[in-house]
Structure 1
Amino acid sequence: MRVTVARPRELGQAEVSRWRSLQEADPAFDNPFLSPEFTLTVGELRDDVRVAVIHDGPDIVGFFPFERHPLGIGKPVAAGLTDAQGLVYDRHVRIDPLRLIKACGLSVYEFDHLVAAQPLLNAHHDRHPSPIIDLSDGFDHYTETLRANSGKTYKSTLAKQRKLQREVGTVRHDYAITDVAPLRTLLGWKTDQYRRTGRTDRFAHQWIVELVERLLATRSDSFAGVLDMVYAGDEPVAGHFGLRTRTTLVGWFPAYDTRFAKYSPGLVQHLAMAEQAAKSGIQLIDLGRGEKEYKDKLKTGELQVAEGRVARRAPAAAVHWLMRVPARKTRATVLANPLLHKTADKALKTYGRLRTVLQG
């Protein structure tokens, strides 16, 4: 195995095409966060993004996108934003993870959404469910599954959509739109949600706003940003921005106008999105890791993603362990315990309300 490390912009068209062909050859890598276009776009905005190109003799057999931080700490590209992480490679080739991170100049590589079939994965890493909507048999089959497993939710969502139409205006759904104005409306709702629930506002970072806008403008058969919005009359009530490959759409930034909360606009939007996505050839919607009630109501199954790290014997790796691992394990304990999770979530929302009052 031979590894060369480059900035994304230094990759040639032949290398990008090889990356794409390796991705499309293996269903385990069918996620837009693993697409070359995603790393190339982030690399335009962040100088710490690198790509390890893995060679076996004269052949390129894999790509490992990562961020290189001080002290040789490695993270996934756009760490904290992505719901799928890892290598895209030919699984017939054996890749030694410690040799790989050493060749990348890393002491440690940490991750929280590592996908399946990864040489970085071992038995000690924590696994977490990532809910999915299976559309491979079409939208009608999906709704039949919903009726069987979440019949009350499905019927009440349709009833609330009819009520929204009666009380506010004709409901319409715009799918795969490219106008940046509704995107900014959606991001405004998302910022309000972050503040309301006590979370950090991702869109306070200008590079993330620019990233989303650039991804919205990226459109090809194999990769695109996908924005959809639900309107009642002339009022935008809910929306979502995600990314797609040819057959997989990832849930990324869903949000709604809280004035219309009683109509469950988020569920209305997700059902409309699933219908249009299925018509456009999408076979799977990955809702992403995380405990959310709407995901439990809409999902048909789950994938598995892993959280952990790969580390060499180095002082920086030991420092990283002290700074990160105990806190991560404590967080995992809280999330795994319903009572602790509910208490922590309530505390964050209280903090969010106080912060809103003080900032107002």
Structure 2
Amino acid sequence: MEITVHRPDELTPALRAAWHGAMDESPEYANPFLAPEFASGVGRFRGGARVAVLREGGEPVGFLPYERGPFGIGRAIGLGLSDCQALVHRPGVAWNTRELLRACGLSVFEFDHLVCEQRPFGPHVTGTFASPVIDVRPGGGTYAEWLRSTYPGLAKTTLKKERRLGRDIGEVRFVFDERDPRVLRTLMRWKSAQYRRTGRMDRFSRPWIVGLVDHLFGVREEHCTGVLSVLYAGDRPVAAHFGPRSRTVLAAWFTAYDPELPSYSPGLMMHLRTAEAAARHGVTLVDLGRGDKEYKDWLKTRELRVAEGFAARPHPVALAHRLWRRPVRGLRNTVLAHPGLREPADRLLRTAGTLRTRGRDSATTVRPRPGPRAG
């Protein structure tokens, strides 16, 4: 096995075509986060982005996109943003993990949404987790039919709220592939406000993430296209989603709604309309991403499994990295896996988010200067 390392923008058209071919040959690699276009997008804003190309008999047969940090600490490309990670390869290809890491100059390789079929990484997996998905044509019928039969109360309530939204605000309409960048900016503002309210890290406070989303919005390729979907009431956007899609898979990535309209459940309407429209545009699967959320339990038709862990070779840096990262991950996973712990943690984060938002608003309030004294 010959292994060479390249920057994403150094990949030749022939290598990109071979990568696309490997995606097409295996359904588990059809996710747009595994496309060379996503790796190239990250590479525009992250200097450590690399791609390992595996060759057999001179022919490229596998591609591992990753990010290399100081001291040879590696991570799956877009770790923390990507909901699907893998060494994309042609069927039947095997590799030696230590040799792969050595060729990449890595002491450790961290992943958290690894496709479970990656057997050579198996000994390095520390846990597997459910990743809910929507089959947009479950059982050969439509997703709307499946939802009505599975959750009749939810479907009826959502339809009732949609009619009320149309009466109160304006006629409800949906655009699957909106090309207005101003609406993308609106989505980012909504999402930032949501992150702050719930005490989470505001991803859109990081310029490289904003840059990546802007870049992907302009990508229009077969294996990776940035799709902005918008729910309107009249001319007013009330909910929006942005995520990449391949020919058959749409990744649910950033969804948010107008914070002035929560009583209408516009976020849930958004997900339902997106799944229905995706089916009409050739998508067969909507990947909701790893995570226990009530809305995902309602929307999913089944679950995939993804793995997290640390592939490592004997090296002091690898040992130190695992000793630092593994307890943090373990604590987070324990909290997320137990509602008795997760719910109090969510309340604490929301309280912190409320206090932080109020403090920020107070700090940015412009106070009038005292006027001149009389006399």
Q: TM-score range by the shorter chain?
A: over 0.9
Where does residue 369 of structure 2 map in the other structure? none
Paired with 1:320 and 1:220, the residues of 2 have a C-alpha distance of 37
Where does residue 269 of structure 1 map in the other structure? 270
By how many angstroms is 1:148 displaced? Answer: 2.3
Where does residue 162 of structure 1 map in the other structure? 163
Q: Which amino acid aligns with 1:101?
A: L
CA contact (8 A) 1:139 1:278 kept: no
Paired with 1:349 and 1:325, the residues of 2 have a C-alpha distance of 26
Where does residue 288 of structure 1 map in the other structure? 289
Where does residue 75 of structure 1 map in the other structure? 75
Identical positions, percent: 49
Where does residue 182 of structure 1 map in the other structure? 183
Residue 65 in structure 1 maps to residue 43 in structure 2: no
Residue 135 in structure 1 maps to residue 136 in structure 2: yes
Where does residue 338 of structure 1 map in the other structure? 339
Paired with 1:270 and 1:93, the residues of 2 have a C-alpha distance of 37
Q: CA RMSD in A?
A: 1.3
Partner SS, residue 212 of structure 1: helix
Paired with 2:155 and 2:90, the residues of 1 have a C-alpha distance of 41
CA contact (8 A) 2:143 2:276 kept: no
Q: Deviations over 1:183-223 (max 9, x none)?
A: 00000000000000000111111111111111011112332
Paired with 2:253 and 2:139, the residues of 1 have a C-alpha distance of 22
Gaps of 5+ in 2: 362-375
Paired with 1:46 and 1:164, the residues of 2 have a C-alpha distance of 42
| Number of residue-to-residue matches in the alignment | 360
Paired with 2:239 and 2:141, the residues of 1 have a C-alpha distance of 23
Structure-2-length-normalised TM-score: 0.94
CA contact (8 A) 1:138 1:278 kept: no
CA contact (8 A) 1:135 1:282 kept: yes
By how many angstroms is 1:122 displaced? Answer: 3.3
By how many angstroms is 1:331 displaced? Answer: 1.0
Paired with 1:92 and 1:140, the residues of 2 have a C-alpha distance of 34
Structure 1 stretches (4+) deviating beyond 3 angstroms? 136-140
Paired with 1:199 and 1:151, the residues of 2 have a C-alpha distance of 33
CA contact (8 A) 1:250 1:286 kept: yes
Go from structure 1 to structure 2 and tell me whether the alpha carbon gap of 1:218 and 1:184 turns closer, same or farther (over 3 Å shift): same
Gaps of 5+ in 1: none
By how many angstroms is 1:117 displaced? Answer: 1.4
By how many angstroms is 1:75 displaced? Answer: 0.6
Q: Deviations over 1:282-340 (max 9, x none)?
A: 00000001111111111100111111111111100111012100111111111111110
By how many angstroms is 1:225 displaced? Answer: 0.4
Residue 14 in structure 1 maps to residue 47 in structure 2: no
CA contact (8 A) 1:28 1:115 kept: yes
By how many angstroms is 1:18 displaced? Answer: 0.3
Q: Deviations over 1:44-93 (max 9, x none)?
A: 12110000000112111100000001111111112111100111002312
Where does residue 371 of structure 2 map in the other structure? none
Partner SS, residue 53 of structure 1: strand
CA contact (8 A) 1:225 1:243 kept: yes
Partner SS, residue 252 of structure 2: strand
Where does residue 327 of structure 1 map in the other structure? 328
Q: Which amino acid aligns with 1:240?
A: H
CA contact (8 A) 1:168 1:232 kept: yes
Partner SS, residue 83 of structure 1: coil
By how many angstroms is 1:123 displaced? Answer: 7.5
Q: Deviations over 1:105-142 (max 9, x none)?
A: 10000111001211323375311111111024599532
Q: Which amino acid aligns with 1:166?
A: R
Residue 308 in structure 1 maps to residue 309 in structure 2: yes
Where does residue 53 of structure 2 map in the other structure? 53
Residue 41 in structure 1 maps to residue 45 in structure 2: no
Partner SS, residue 195 of structure 2: helix
Structure-1-length-normalised TM-score: 0.97
Paired with 1:94 and 1:115, the residues of 2 have a C-alpha distance of 15
Where does residue 103 of structure 1 map in the other structure? 103
By how many angstroms is 1:98 displaced? Answer: 1.6
Q: Which moved more, 1:350-359 or 1:71-80?
A: 71-80
Partner SS, residue 177 of structure 1: coil
Partner SS, residue 246 of structure 1: coil
Paired with 1:232 and 1:280, the residues of 2 have a C-alpha distance of 23
Q: Which amino acid aligns with 1:275?
A: E
